[in-house]
Amino acid sequence: MRSPYLWELEAKNANKAGKPATASSSIDNSCYNGSMPFDLKPLRIGPLEIEFPVVLAALASYSDLPYRLICRSLGAPYCATEAMLDRQILLDGKLRDRLVRIDAADHPIAGQLMGNDPTVMAQAAAVLRDMGFDVIDLNFACPVKKVVAKKRGGYLMDQPDLALEIVRAVIEAVPDRPVTLKLRRTFRETDETNAAFRRIARGAFEAGAAAVAVHARSVGQKYRGQADWDFIARVKREFPDRTIIGSGDIHTALDALRMIEQTGVDGVLAARGAIGNPWLFRQARDLAAGREPFKPDLKEQREVISRHLRLAEGLYGPRRGLLTLRNFGIHYARLHPHPAKVRTAFISVKTDEDWRAVMETWYGAPPLSPL
């Protein structure tokens, strides 16, 4: 049964846009005026019980330790690392150290692996287990051209036998950790049978996988067009007693709750919509509780962005930390009253002085006191 408060929100947003409310309407939270709470169950991944089902997805160049800690401070109960190549995990070096860095406050945490050799993937999974990762996540979904060309990520959606060999090898290597998979609807957009998806998902569950995350686009589609939430709903109906996590077109907190309601999934991955909007998790909790979603004012935005910079500098050093936050700043700018101007200002940042100028001009940051 539809939650009345979600329908009310959809109708109001649709009226603002001059169009009828549909399952594909793009909805913001600005019209929320408080209503009924939404009963959400915890997300279960093997023996783990995650108390809120909206979680941070693995995001290349974005779901690093500093941003995971920011998201956790604002309500994200579970996070995944950036995708890590299996062979990188077996090599001791600076890149591996950066990718695998976790913190006592960064649990439960999934380490996401990409590769195409069952033996190497199993070895890498064991290394992550020994480093303290709570879940091993296998990426069979990445649509990036160079990744697919190297027979990793989304390439495995066209190779179900190999995908299942990897799943079985990893589960055997880490029997004491939940193993999850990230899949796409299909490899080619023209494939309407979704046979490879179903074969991989069913085979993985039979082998002991704890959960499957479903991105509702094809590999070939990448991020174009609209995610097929109806497909996600069909997957959940096909595997009613298994943990299914939905992904695709989660741009706002309300989108996350809509996906749960409309598809019946057990959890939702917040991906691109969470880049530069870590408040999405707090907003989702507010909406679920029937509260007006929190709207970060410029003071709140400034404090969170500044804390993010300090965390990034602590991990990467001052220079790389600044450049990392410049890239994030482009996304944080979306929440500013003048997003285009602030985005341009962040793009131009090259020095600490440039950064301070952006914060003072656009976020009201007080100038540094003279020493």
DSSP state of 22: -
d(C-alpha 231, C-alpha 223), whole Å: 16
Task: Check if the beta carbon of residue 179 is closer than 8 Å to that of residue 216.
Answer: no
Q: Which helix (H) or strand (E) holds 181?
A: strand 179-186
Residue 81 C-alpha from the chain's centroid: 9
Q: Which helix (H) or strand (E) holds 54?
A: strand 54-56
Q: Is 142 a catalytic residue?
A: yes
30-54 exposure pattern, b = at least 16 Cβ within 10 A, e = fewer = eebeebeebebeebbbbebebebbb
Q: Which helix (H) or strand (E) holds 320?
A: helix 318-332
- Could you count the other beta carbons within 10 Å of the beta carbon of residue 245? 25
84 strand-pairing partners: 113
Task: Check if the beta carbon of residue 127 is closer than 8 Å to that of residue 84.
Answer: no
Identified catalytic residue from 31, 71, 79, 142: 142
Single-letter amino acid code for the residue at 267:
G
- Could you count the other beta carbons within 10 Å of the beta carbon of residue 86? 25
DSSP state of 48: E
Smallest CA-to-CA distance from 281 within 52, 49, 23 is with 52
| 3-class SS of residue 39 | coil
Which residue reads 């907003």 in tokens?
283
d(C-alpha 145, C-alpha 3), whole Å: 40
* DSSP conformation letters of 250-282: --SHHHHHHHHHHH--SEEEE-GGGTT-TTHHH
Collect all residues with Cβ–Cβ distance below 8 Å to 223 and sequence separation of at least 6.
143, 217, 272
Query: What residues are labeled active site?
Result: 142
